[in-house]
Amino acid sequence: MRTSIAARANLELIDQNYQRWQEDPASVDPSWAAFFEGFELGNLPQRNGAAATTAQRAGVRESPLQTRIDGLVYAYRTLGHTIARVNPLAEKRPENPQLTLRELGFGEKDLDLRVSSKFFHDNEEMTLREMIARLQKIYADSIGAEFMHIQNTRMRNWVLHRLESRADKNSTARQVKIALLRALMEAESFEVFLHSRYVGQKRFSIQGAESVMVILESILHKCPTVGVEEICMGMSHRGRLNVLANFLKKSLRVIFTEFSENYIPELVAGDGDVKYHLGYHTVRKLSSGAQVEIRLSANPSHLEAVDPVVEGTARARQRIRGDTEHRRKVLPLLLHGDAAFAGQGIVAETLNMSQLHGYGTGGTVHVVVNNQIGFTTIPEDARSSMYATDIAKMIEVPIFHVNGDDPLACMQVSQLALDFRQEFGRDIVIDMYCYRRFGHNEGDEPAFTQPDLYAKIDKHPSVAQLYKRELLESGAMTDDDAASLETEFGLRLEMTLDDVKAIEKQKANDQAKFKESSAVFQPEYTSSPVSTAINQKELKTIVDALTRVPDDFNVQPKIKRIILEHRRKVFENGGPYEWHYAELLAFGSL
């Protein structure tokens, strides 16, 4: 059994191993190599989780300059996220003193030195200036990645390789860029339309966070290629109407009817709930010909209460699809708010159960819609942690912070997140930084409580407008293309609203109003008595099922006497039935 470094640490042994390591690093125990060279320098990088071939170093100890170069790479992998441009409202890049040239052991005069690191880009030689620029582009641009806290080496290096080898986002195909703009404009036009047609009505708008639709669409369209057949979703009320309309494709006619002054929720499905709490079930048919089933669970005002419900639904659906070994066919997908993810204990409880055999679902993709405010409270006054997502570090999963004003970056992290989940069967977190265009609901005035923040937001263009401008300037689309999209969405919304108003004027019955929905209509209420009794034969069948065990199953004698035999005796005597026994019989009769 190996002893720890601490247990062996006498001067003579340290000196002996140090000399051996200088001559040949492979000749000492890996823990000693790590002790002498630093965490990353004791382990060569890996590709796609598979160990790379160990290379012998050239006989002598590396120079102090080389050690600083390797330390630079490690520093950006570890801390690059702290200076990433992920906040769309920030006027400049964040600063971290630990990533300054001086702190890393360099000066301005060193920037044109030709350097390389065997731990970065296959030891490719480049100037120090170019190496820093590449590291900033990977780890400190629109994506900030936290993954160095993961102790599983294979998992950590898989993420590292995917980040450092990903294609330039600007090389994305033109049709994909147009599709992302389409998702953004569709989401924005829906919200603007509701805002102008249903003034003052609560809808908990997604405005400021429209790129969440890019994340959802990117995950959806990747599902068939990685074996996902079904998505089980949960979310709070922020943006739910937009997700229902534009992701699950719930009928606009039904949604507009639910906005009607004459709409009575109790008429349909007996839920009696508001429109932004409702769930939905659909099958999305993709352009590739593939189909993906999507289930969005209903959720009350307790924002994160739906989390374990979705996990349970996903686990049940995995069993139904015969996917209980690897659990890769059904994807749990949870959308959270930043304040709720950090503040509600049910999040930690759900995360804590994610790797337990009896509760696991093969990993959940968590999308935090980080609008940087909780009701009226900004993060500085709401939590002690640096990020809203820090709670997820307890289960050692990657966390990707991404700028919601960069749709291409949102697409990249979404695809990476799904690949990670399918590869490792673990949770993963996307923290999309954005903002909330209006108040907590559309009746609130946010400038009363956060005047400085909302002065910035009022001047900030929407992500759809920013991205449209980017595509126009790059020549990926023309003004006519953009105008055509706006006209298409506007006409569809106007024509649907006209249909709903026509039905209202005709005083059509409820079935006509909801003919495009999957609603189950409730019978008219009556106080007349209803016979619910069952006959003696049915009752005996239920009791037999509740008291019978297989012949080869040994029941604990006490359980057999006080439960099984007691139930049989109560039935044979005609009662009296305890409350819990009566409930069992009632359930058995359904």
pLDDT tens per residue across span 267-316: 554 444 577 788 899 999 999 999 999 999 988 778 899 999 999 999 99
Tell me the backbone φ, ψ of residue 231, rounded to 5 degrees: -120, 130
d(CA 247, CA 221): 12
Take residue 339 and report the two structure tokens written for it.
């304040």
Q: Could you read off the pLDDT of 14-43 as tens digits, one per residue?
A: 667 777 767 777 676 666 666 665 534 444
Of residues 510 and 484, which shows the higher confidence score?
484
Q: Which pLDDT band, with edges at 50, 70 and 90, does 55 fall under? A: very low
How many domains does one find in the chain? Answer: 3
Query: Quick check: bond before 576 cis, omega within 30?
Result: yes
Mean pLDDT is highest, among 192-196, 230-234, 454-458, for 230-234
- 111 and 250 both lie in a single domain: no
Take residue 213 and report the two structure tokens written for it.
């639709």
Q: Which of 120, 140, 160 is the last residue of a domain?
A: 140
Q: Could you read off the pLDDT of 270-282 as tens digits, one per residue?
A: 444 577 788 899 9
Q: Could you read off the pLDDT of 195-204 as tens digits, one per residue?
A: 888 887 888 8
The whole-number average pLDDT for the span 114-125 is 94
d(CA 387, CA 200): 33
- 358 and 301 both lie in a single domain: yes
User: What is the value of pTM for the model shown?
Assistant: 0.81
pLDDT at 52: 43
**Residue 464, in any domain of the structure:** yes
**Residue 574, in any domain of the structure:** yes
- 353 and 466 both lie in a single domain: yes
- 281 and 402 both lie in a single domain: yes
Percent of the chain with pLDDT over 90: 71
d(CA 254, CA 240): 14
Count each helix (H run) and each strand (E run) in the chain, helices first.
22, 12
- 412 and 445 both lie in a single domain: yes
d(CA 378, CA 374): 6
- 204 and 265 both lie in a single domain: yes
For the sheet containing 330-337, what is the strand order? 143-146, 399-403, 428-433, 365-370, 330-337, 230-234, 291-296, 280-285
pLDDT at 303: 87
**Residue 74, in any domain of the structure:** yes
- 328 and 419 both lie in a single domain: yes
Whether 2 has a pLDDT exceeding 70, the answer reads no
**Residue 68, in any domain of the structure:** yes
Q: How far is CA 191 from CA 206, 431, 435, 489, in A?
A: 7, 23, 15, 11
- 235 and 343 both lie in a single domain: yes
Query: Quick check: bond before 308 cis, omega within 30?
Result: no
CB 281 within 8 A of CB 292: no
**Residue 289, in any domain of the structure:** yes
Residue 46 DSSP class: E
**Residue 263, in any domain of the structure:** yes
Among the ranges given (17-31, 98-112, 228-242), the one the predictor scored with the smallest mean pLDDT: 17-31
User: What's 422's domain CATH number?
Assistant: 3.40.50.970
d(CA 222, CA 226): 7
**Dihedral sign computed on CA atoms, order 151, 153, 155, 156:** positive
pLDDT at 179: 96
Q: Could you read off the pLDDT of 349-401 as tens digits, one per residue?
A: 999 999 999 999 999 999 999 999 998 899 999 999 999 999 999 999 999 99
pLDDT at 19: 73
pLDDT at 27: 73
pLDDT at 398: 98
pLDDT at 100: 95
Among the ranges given (19-23, 159-163, 211-215, 411-415), the one the predictor scored with the smallest mean pLDDT: 19-23
CB 300 within 8 A of CB 277: yes
pLDDT at 278: 84
Residue-averaged pLDDT of the chain? 88
Q: Which of 124, 140, 156 is the last residue of a domain?
A: 140
CB 158 within 8 A of CB 421: no
- 414 and 452 both lie in a single domain: yes
CB 280 within 8 A of CB 247: no
The whole-number average pLDDT for the span 440-460 is 90
Q: Which of 283, 216, 281 is nearest to 243 (CA)?
A: 216
The whole-number average pLDDT for the span 231-245 is 94
**Residue 145, in any domain of the structure:** no
d(CA 466, CA 193): 20
Q: Which of 25, 19, 29, 28 is nearest to 57 (CA)?
A: 25
- 372 and 265 both lie in a single domain: yes
Whether 139 has a pLDDT exceeding 90, the answer reads yes
d(CA 63, CA 285): 59
Q: Which of 45, 76, 75, 40 is nearest to 162 (CA)?
A: 45
User: What's 92's domain CATH number?
Assistant: 1.10.287.1150
Identify the three-state secondary structure at position 299.
coil
**Residue 411, in any domain of the structure:** yes
pLDDT at 183: 97
Q: Which pLDDT band, with edges at 50, 70 and 90, does 12 fall under? A: low
- 196 and 227 both lie in a single domain: yes
Could you tell me the end-to-end alpha-carbon distance of the chain, in angstroms, rounded to an integer? Answer: 60
The whole domain housing 540 covers 536-589
Q: How far is CA 538 from CA 19, 499, 530, 548, 588, in A?
A: 84, 51, 19, 16, 9
Whether 8 has a pLDDT exceeding 60, the answer reads no
- 375 and 484 both lie in a single domain: yes
Q: Could you read off the pLDDT of 174-208 as tens digits, one per residue?
A: 999 999 999 999 999 999 999 888 887 888 899 99
